[in-house]
Amino acid sequence: MAYIYEEPSRTFSEYLLLPNLTTKDCVPENVSLKTPILRYRRGETSPLYLNIPLVSAIMQAVSGDRMAVELARSGGVSFIYASQPIADQAEMVKRVKNYKAGFVVSDSNLTPEHTLKDVLALTARTGHSTIAITADGSPTGKLLGIVTSRDYRKGRTPLEMKVKDFMTPFSAMVYGKEGLTLSEANDLICEHKLNCLPIIDEQQNLCYLVFRKDYTAHKENPLELLDHHKRLVVGAGINTRDYRERVPALVEAGADLLCVDSSDGFTEWQYETIQTIKKEYNGEVKVGGGNVVDKEGFLYLAEAGADFIKVGIGGGSICITREQKGIGRGQATAVIEVAKARDEYYQRTGEYIPICSDGGIVHDYHIVLALAMGADFVMLGRYFARFDESPAPKIRKGMTYVKEYWGEGSNRARNWARYDLGGEEKLTFEEGVDSYVPYAGKMKDNLDLTLAKIKSTMCNCGALTIPELQQKARLTLVSPLTLREGGAHDVILRKETDHDFS
């Protein structure tokens, strides 16, 4: 008969942290969330550290180049999704590596022949009120004008009016030439009282837009994750089918680290993929593996040479692998067992392999639980899919806005390579769903709140660093009644429409 674990596998929601002594120096501003992401030997340091323990999932609806830029500026890393043509993924990586803080590649563009109706539709889709008007409607075409909300009046300007008839033409614009520094660009913005300054090349082609608001934002990102050339750090996903062609393109584009994107990493295909990359690039190309849920899976990928290992099967909010195949494990139990295996491996070999908890995060405090249980960092999909920076469309549903969010195993994504079992190149059945998540606005506003909660919780545990948290944290299992007791109960909650007239 099959081997049966006597203890049930558990989720993060089944645990709570117990407070430890909070000393006077244990305050949020003293907490460091720096954490290693790549394998290193005892007595050495990791080749790369995250400044916050969060990375975005390798998903079409989550990790595009815009998300990669904003998350790296906040101290984390995005893994550009692999379920797209190699050239397109490499181009996304290049855009991140070529990004200059404050210099934005325009993602809202139209031609002079478009109409106000097109302007309003584009603004509703992107949330951006500044639209660059180029000859071909591309972000790098010849700049002919610009449209902002000041150029038209909703309800007064006819929807059929062409852009060329109400845009601010190039002849009336203030612009900068390519090679301008950010400081010089901001001087022009202040001098001419602009909200946006286009940067063009010698042929009048649009290169970047510099916004007044981004100058302040640049000063507010002290945790930016940069490489040795002061460029933003970016990761990229790969699969076990076309990696021989995909990896060289991503490396040439400048990807700092790779990750094999698979629902089940305990396979010979993944072992071979990681080993081949390590041999062909003499260990210089860093690549993570996964996903696994136990000691055996961890050790298998550790021996393959994985630089980090992802933990979790079936715990994602859009994942139905457990329903479809009965494969998986409660995320908390999986992290606890793999973390023990990681520590044993470190003691035995002197090599530390960071582990990433992937899936099962419902509340912000679950991130702290994952770290306390031994994870070095956490991969999030649903969390990041809600923000402006994700590639997914924002649409209106009823009286509110949502973002579309679909799994890589859904028919929409068609990412059969992620669930590859060596057969035909097709998705036989779905292991992910197509859904919506509540729209939450800008990433930074939400991320700052999440990080504040993480730091505050760590202070309650008497820890100023993640390693200290892992040493000091005390966890207790909770009952269903404990969960009920932990939320608001036995009261009538006030609604926003309620008023106090006393």
Q: What token pair was written down for 111?
A: 């031609």
CA–CA gap between residue 42 and residue 352 (Å, rounded) = 7
Q: Which of 26, 95, 418, 461 is catalytic?
A: 418
Place of tokens 């609806």: 61
CA–CA gap between residue 456 and residue 467 (Å, rounded) = 16
Q: What token pair was written down for 161?
A: 């009016």
State CA 338 to chain mean position distance.
Answer: 23
Cβ contacts of 323 within 8 Å, gap of 6 or more: none
Q: What token pair was written down for 50?
A: 């995250």
Cβ contacts of 170 within 8 Å, gap of 6 or more: 143, 144, 145, 204
Per-residue tens of pLDDT for the chain, all 502 residues:
898 988 999 999 999 999 999 999 999 999 999 999 999 999 999 999 999 999 999 999 999 999 999 999 999 999 999 999 999 999 999 999 988 767 888 889 999 999 999 999 998 887 788 999 999 999 999 999 999 988 998 888 899 999 999 999 999 999 999 988 878 888 898 899 888 999 999 999 999 998 886 666 556 788 999 998 888 999 999 999 999 999 999 999 999 999 999 989 999 999 999 999 999 999 999 999 989 999 999 999 999 999 999 999 988 877 777 777 788 899 999 999 999 999 999 999 999 999 999 999 999 999 999 999 999 999 999 999 999 999 988 999 888 999 988 877 776 756 656 555 666 665 566 666 778 899 999 999 999 999 999 999 999 999 999 999 999 999 999 988 777 777 777 788 776 555 444 3
Contact between residue 133 and residue 269 where contact means Cβ atoms under 8 Å apart = no
Place of tokens 């951006």: 128
Q: What token pair was written down for 328?
A: 């998986």
Contact between residue 42 and residue 350 where contact means Cβ atoms under 8 Å apart = yes
Cβ contacts of 305 within 8 Å, gap of 6 or more: 274, 275, 278, 283, 287
Task: Answer whether the bond into residue 186 is a cis peptide, omega within 30°.
Answer: no
Task: Judge whether 356 counts as a catalytic residue.
Answer: no
Alpha-carbon distances of 52 from 32, 56, 428, 451, rounded to whole Å: 8, 12, 38, 8
- Where are the alpha helices (H) located in 203-351, listed in sequence order? 212-219, 243-253, 268-280, 295-304, 321-325, 331-349
For the chain, what is the largest distance between any 2 Cα atoms, rounded to a whole number of angstroms?
A: 80
3-state SS assignment for residue 296? helix
Place of tokens 């309800």: 155
Contact between residue 436 and residue 289 where contact means Cβ atoms under 8 Å apart = no
The pLDDT assigned to 481 comes to 78
Contact between residue 434 and residue 412 where contact means Cβ atoms under 8 Å apart = yes
Q: Which of 196, 207, 259, 319 is catalytic?
A: 319
For residue 270, give the nearest of 327, 236, 310 by alpha carbon: 310
For residue 113, give the nearest of 130, 137, 132 by alpha carbon: 137
Place of tokens 């913005």: 189
CA–CA gap between residue 474 and residue 17 (Å, rounded) = 6
Contact between residue 342 and residue 374 where contact means Cβ atoms under 8 Å apart = yes
What is the 3-class SS of 29-46, one letter each residue? HHCCCCEECCCEECCCCC
Length of the chain as a residue count: 502
* Beta pairing class for 235-238 and 77-80: parallel
Tell me how far apart the terminal alpha carbons of the chain are, to the nearest angstrom: 70
3-state SS assignment for residue 56? strand
What type of residue sits at position 307?
Answer: D
Contact between residue 406 and residue 381 where contact means Cβ atoms under 8 Å apart = no
Q: What is the dihedral of CA 236, 237, 240, 246, to 10 degrees?
A: -40
* Beta pairing class for 355-358 and 377-380: parallel
3-state helix, strand, coil in the chain (%, to 5): 35, 20, 45
**Dihedral angle sign, alpha carbons of residues 448, 434, 79, 126:** negative
For residue 358, give the nearest of 317, 322, 311 by alpha carbon: 311
CA–CA gap between residue 57 and residue 310 (Å, rounded) = 11
Contact between residue 433 and residue 61 where contact means Cβ atoms under 8 Å apart = no
H/E element, 502: none
Task: Judge whether 319 counts as a catalytic residue.
Answer: yes
